[in-house]
Amino acid sequence: MDLESEGRFAAYVETLASVLGHSDRARPLRDYCAGLILPGERKSVEPMAARTAPGRTSAQHQSLLHFVGVGQWSDEKVLAKVRDLVVPAIEAQGPIEAWIIDDTGFPKQGEHSVGVQPQYCGELGKEANCQVAVSLSMANHFASLPIGYRLYLPKDWAADRARRQKAGIPDDICFATKPQIALELIERACAAGVARGVVLMDLDYGRDQRLRAGIAACGLTYVAAVPPRLLLWPPYARPQQGGKPLNNTGRRDQPDLVTAKELALSLPPSAWRTIAWREGSAGSLSSRFARVRVRVPVQGAIPDALARQTLLIEWPEDEAEPTKYWLATLPADIAFRRLVDIAKLRWRIERDYQDLKQEVGLDHYEGRGWRGFHHHATLCIAAYGFLIAERATIPPSGACSATLGQTPVLPEGYRPRGSALAA
């Protein structure tokens, strides 16, 4: 790393330290962020202490452990400052295009880490003993940055007073579903005046009607993955007024309702177009798509009052039936290629989690408490944000890659000038 990069890192962590509340927290902040960026297979507290202060590892271990596990500083304030510092570097490459909702799992062996229980773990692709955190990221085609992050607390944990107290779970944290947590993160981002984008959701979130309605109530548009069995009215249908409330068990007196899959299979060949959305490692990524304007029933709503949405469908030519469906509240006249491009921009969150785990050790925290879990994640996001900002300094003709692993990182033995690490 050159002197300019060293100077930028020192300035970056110094600015973050300004929102910690006490000046004595600046030193462990610098050390922790440097430890996350320095090379090393493990980014838990003990090995980071050995890397950042080899001459006083024991004392450093206690300092970092207290800072991340006990320190009473605000995750929200630090994340807001990271956003202030990093988003301009992202926007220099293009405007913010999307807000991406997702969650990630952290496999665990024991049963004492806060929020851990057998549940679906996306990292493993199956149910396993794990923790799960919900996140909100803002993104364009250059990069994405998590701006909201919260642990999902299962019902058993939320109702267990003894475990809550031992893990230090705040009294105001009650059980909430993952979509409810996602909506809370979105509402906070709106209140903070964050640059807005189209909200992108995978099937786990997109199928939630209340979440989609909540996003619309915030004045945001969305592109939400939905199941093939979703009931909707095709363009030719005229929903009846005054019908019984709809649910997931039947169509009752609305005979024109069809599933998204039925509508897709009924479309003529002329409705399908092959569209490429980005360059992948093996060349241009493309598939076959169709789009249709539809109405989607909402429980208790008068059908004629429902706003029209666009159903986007993907059906690769080598598949026997359509593979993906999205509902979009974007303008009806949006360019077809642009609609596909936005729907597919959700790939950035997968890169987020890959880099956060592989580069800065998001999944390496070994503490068990609520505060430490969130503090570690906040500091990982801060370190990740610095790497994004550094990547933005690479000229377009330079060796810039979509992966952070190929951007300049702090070399072994690096100590920020003027910081405690230089001592």
CA–CA distance, 24 with 338 (Å, rounded to integer): 49
Residues 171 and 259 in one domain: no
Residues 151 and 25 in one domain: yes
The whole-number pLDDT of residue 158 equals 97
CA–CA distance, 416 with 34 (Å, rounded to integer): 8
| Residue whose structure tokens are 């405007």 | 95
Residues 377 and 334 in one domain: no
How distant, in Å, are the alpha carbons of 53, 69, 134, 188, 205 from that of 183? 41, 27, 10, 9, 10
Tokens of residue 339, six digits: 């609609």
Which of 308, 327, 345 represents a domain boundary (last residue)? Answer: 345
Give per-residue pLDDT as tens, 347-357: 999 888 999 99
CA–CA distance, 377 with 213 (Å, rounded to integer): 29
Residue type, 381: I
Domain holding 321, by residue range, is 204-209+220-345
Residues 322 and 228 in one domain: yes
Q: What percent of the chain has pLDDT over 90?
A: 78
Cα angle: 338, vertex 341, 347; to 5 degrees = 160
The whole-number pLDDT of residue 3 equals 73
Residues 54 and 183 in one domain: yes
Tokens of residue 4, six digits: 């300019």
Which of 322, 345, 368 represents a domain boundary (last residue)? Answer: 345
Residue 214 lies in a domain: no
Which of 345, 362, 378 represents a domain boundary (last residue)? Answer: 345
The whole-number pLDDT of residue 57 equals 95
Residue 215 lies in a domain: no
How distant, in Å, are the alpha carbons of 76, 139, 280, 348, 422 from that of 147? 9, 10, 26, 14, 31
Residue 418 lies in a domain: yes
Residues 412 and 337 in one domain: no
CA–CA distance, 96 with 288 (Å, rounded to integer): 27
- In the DSSP assignment, the letter for residue 135 is E
Residues 291 and 368 in one domain: no
Half-sphere exposure of 384 (CA within 13 A, CB side): 27
Residue 191 lies in a domain: yes
Residues 50 and 181 in one domain: yes
C-alpha dihedral, 116 to 119 to 125 to 126, nearest 10°: 120
The whole-number pLDDT of residue 411 equals 41
Question: Model's pTM, two decimal places?
Answer: 0.89
Contacting residues for 251 by C-beta, under 8 A, at least 6 apart: 231, 257
Residue 382 lies in a domain: yes
DSSP string, 144-200: EEEEEEEE---HHHHT-HHHHHHHT--TT-----HHHHHHHHHHHHHHTTPPP-EEE
Residues 176 and 39 in one domain: yes
Give per-residue pLDDT as tens, 21-70: 999 999 999 999 999 999 988 999 999 999 999 999 999 999 999 999 99
Residue 120 lies in a domain: yes
The whole-number pLDDT of residue 235 equals 86
Residue 230 lies in a domain: yes
CA–CA distance, 147 with 188 (Å, rounded to integer): 10
The closest alpha carbon to 238, from 255, 225, 263, belongs to 255
Beta bridge mates, 100 = 137, 200
Residues 163 and 48 in one domain: yes
The whole-number pLDDT of residue 240 equals 59
Residues 120 and 179 in one domain: yes
Residue 269 lies in a domain: yes
How many structural domains comprise the chain?
Answer: 2
Residues 54 and 186 in one domain: yes
